[in-house]
Structure 1
Amino acid sequence: MVDTIFPGIVARRVETPRLVAGVLERPADDPSTTVVFVHGNVSSSLFWQPMMLSLPPRVASFAVDLRGFGDSETLPVDATRGVRDFSDDVASVIDALGLGAVHLVGWSMGGGVVMQLLLDRPELVASLTLQSTVSPFGFGGTGLDGSLVTADAAGTGGGGANPDFVARLAAGDRSDDAGSPRAVYRSSYVAPGFVSEHEDVWVESMLSTATGLDNYPGDSRPSADWPGFAPGGRGVLNTMAPTVFDTSGIVELAAKPPVLWIHGAQDAIVGDASFFDLNQLGAAGIIPGWPGADAAPPQPMIAQTRAVLARYSAAGGRVTELEFENCGHSPHLEHPETFRDGLVAHLSD
């Protein structure tokens, strides 16, 4: 079994009123800054270790496992609350550790989690860093302004997961077969050609994902609209359905902490033509019966995030965007020095 905890990282479990959470810590002797990292879907805090270790000694860093991932309890995810089960859990860990206001770094789904935390507990947020973040309007099923393409957000949520991939996660598949977690990591988490000496650790992190209707991917319900299903109310993927997820309200906050948005130009998961968006798969002819761009347009994810952050900036918030070339969904792994430099500068502002 691969050793998943890097030297210099302390693994602990933190009991809160909401859950027992797995937490990784890179301690600082005399910290002047505290960063809390939040992972994305089908991953865990393990992915953050190299970045935690690379930060200056004055920075104390923590990485929290969301419920049903990593070393945290496997508890049901109530998707009718959007991502609030996750964001409330992270807030409970921050409270339990007595950290006060922290610099939050959220990756992919974790970007949505930290935006939601800002909306609900702004006193806990000194700044936001959004890495390859889910759009403020959720994942799939919306136009540029965030409006729903269909009333029930057909084609989004738990029904969009690949059943074979879910089965491979549940079975602990460590192979490099097509469709395995390792193959998905290589094809979707990073840009083509990227190689990591820690790939076995990243696969273990992915395999820590709890599967089932209450966790990943969640349930679905029938829809009269293509492709025939709509989001349900349980599980991970439904938390980002646009019927329940909308963090664009950060624009209206009275106090606006600075935001750093980092994303890769070759991101296969979050993009204006994401192949994890079923409408894009329909447009490409991969899923049959696509009713056309008027009825089922791909979601312009990057354009949506850029538009919301432009409004945030116009309303008085400070926003910095960094787009990395030759980079997929994981800038902190693929371009660690550039990511670290951008993050440290952001923390110092």
Structure 2
Amino acid sequence: MTTLRTRRVTTARLTQQITEARAEGEPVVLVHGNVSSSVFWHGTLTALPAPYRPIAVDLRGFGGTDPLPVDATRGLRDYADDLAALLDALGIERAHLVGWSMGGGVVLQYLRDRPAAVRSLTLVNPVSPYGFGGTHGVEGTLNAADGAGSGGGTANPDFVRLLADGDRGTGFPASPRTVLTSCYVKPPFTPAHGDEDAYVEAMLATRVGDDHYPGDSTPSDSWPGMAPGTRGVLNAMAPVHFRVDDLHLVDPKPPVLWIRGEDDIIVSDTSMFDLAHLGAIGAVPGWDGTPAQPMLAQTRHVLDRYAAAGGSVREVAVAGAGHAVHLERPEEFGKALLEVLSA
């Protein structure tokens, strides 16, 4: 049985917590998503065989990494630059990168800024290259110049409150445990009891506030009445701050795997976390006809351009899986991951 080791690594930017399965081998760096931590990669860490060296990192403000504030005006570059500093501290010049959800955006930014340092890129149910919310069309056209409909103000206030309160129960629809079992994965799938508790604890380790999750917001004259601020997690994914649509220009072009659950309700062309889609179905009042963000179509558009420019891209859609395909279908995920690692 593989024994995992968790430790803190001091870098030039901050001290980061990592969990790893072995100290030698070809580095595979696993980057978690929003309101989670490296704990969500424990199964992958134990399953990935030698000669690979899987390393799961906690991003700033999550898990055991220093809770430095997030400058959202840099998009996801705070996280990507932190990752570069970590690899430098570990003496790793090139690595395979695997990013889930928001972590997908982090590794996309890393590829955009440092293509020669990336051996391969795996995107697991990733945020769109045009950010989360506030855009329409495959080219990520802003719905409003200020990014209305995205950013810190779009978070469910009950979820934020329960997260800050450390709620571990199932008494509310927005409790972290309920969000885990109804949104992170597709019901009726449930993690093993011990794993579920560990995932909830990882969610509760998220720092909450304007500098962290969800971030600040500003009023907007455009529906639904709020626009991104300049601080915190959700603003770092707002389309006015994060946009990685020129990947076809990077050189070299490492192979890319895009793997996702077909029944993901978080990252979707009809996302239940996109206020425009919620408005269209009557769940958010005052909807003015703003179209839902086609998140999958946007990702496919960017990756198709990457492939047309000479890159290798493989899309794997896993039927019956939700937002956390690596948890729900670990064997299918592991098989696809090993194929891109050895490409």
1:263 paired with 2:256, answer: no
Instruction: Give the distance between the partners of 1:227 and 1:274, measured in 2 at CA.
Output: 16
Distance 2:50 2:103 in 1: 25
Q: State the TM-score, normalizing by the size of structure 2.
A: 0.97
| Among 283, 288, 300, the residue aligned to 1:286 | 283
**1:254 positional shift:** 2.3
RMSD across aligned positions (CA): 1.0
Query: How many Å apart are 1:307 and its aligned residue?
Result: 1.1
Q: 1:71 aligns with which of 64, 75, 94?
A: 64
Consecutive unaligned residues in structure 2, runs of 5 or more: none
| Correspondence 1:169-184 to 2 at 5 A | 169-178=163-172, 179-184=174-179
1:240 maps to which residue?
Answer: 237
1:125 and 2:122 are equivalent in the alignment: no
Provide the residue aligned with 2:37 in structure 1: 44
Residue 22 of structure 1 aligns to a residue in which SS?
A: strand
What SS class does the counterpart of residue 62 from structure 1 fall into? strand
Pair 1:16-2:17 in alignment: no
Q: How many angstroms apart in 2 are the aligned matches of 1:250 and 1:156?
A: 23
CA contact (8 A) 1:70 1:209 kept: yes
Alpha-carbon offset, residue 124 of structure 1: 1.9
Match of 2:208 in 1: 211
Query: In structure 1, how many angstroms separate the alpha carbons of the residues matched to 2:202 and 2:85?
Result: 22
Show the 5 A alignment for 1:299-310: 299-310=293-304
Structure 1 segments of 4+ aligned residues over 3 angstroms from their partners = none
Matching residue's letter, 1:47? F
- Give the letter for the 1:103 counterpart: H
TM superposition score normalised by structure 1: 0.96
Q: Distance in 2 between matches of 1:227 and 1:140?
A: 11
Query: Which residue does 1:3 correspond to in 2?
Result: none
**In 1: Cα distance, 2:73 partner to 2:327 partner:** 33
Q: Is contact 1:28–1:58 with CA below 8 Å preserved after alignment?
A: no
Determine if the alignment matches structure 1 residue 166 to structure 2 residue 160: yes
Residue from 78, 81, 92 that aligns with 1:88: 81
Q: In 2, distance between residues paired with 1:116 and 1:274?
A: 23
How far the C-alpha of 1:192 sits from its partner, in A, is: 1.1
Percent identical across equivalent pairs? 56
Paired letter, 2:271: S
Specify the SS of the correspondent of 1:346.
helix
> Take 1:317 and 1:223, find their aligned partners in 2: how far apart are those partners?
40
Q: Which residue matches 1:193?
A: 188
Count of matched residue positions in the alignment of Structure 1 and Structure 2: 339
Specify the alignment match of 1:139 in structure 2.
132
Give, in angstroms, the shift of residue 99 of structure 1. Answer: 1.3
Alpha-carbon distance in 2 for matches of 1:177, 1:310: 44
Instruction: Give CA-to-partner distance per residue, 1:270-318, whole Å, 9 cap, x none.
Output: 00000100001100101110001xxx11000001101111111010000
| Structure 1 residue corresponding to 2:199, chosen from 180, 187, 202 | 202
Whole-angstrom distance in 1 between the partners of 2:86 and 2:206: 20
1:278 is matched by which residue type in structure 2?
Answer: L
Matched, 1:56 2:43: no
1:336 matched to 2:330? The reply is yes
Closer, same or farther: CA 7–208 of 1 in aligned 2, 3 Å: farther
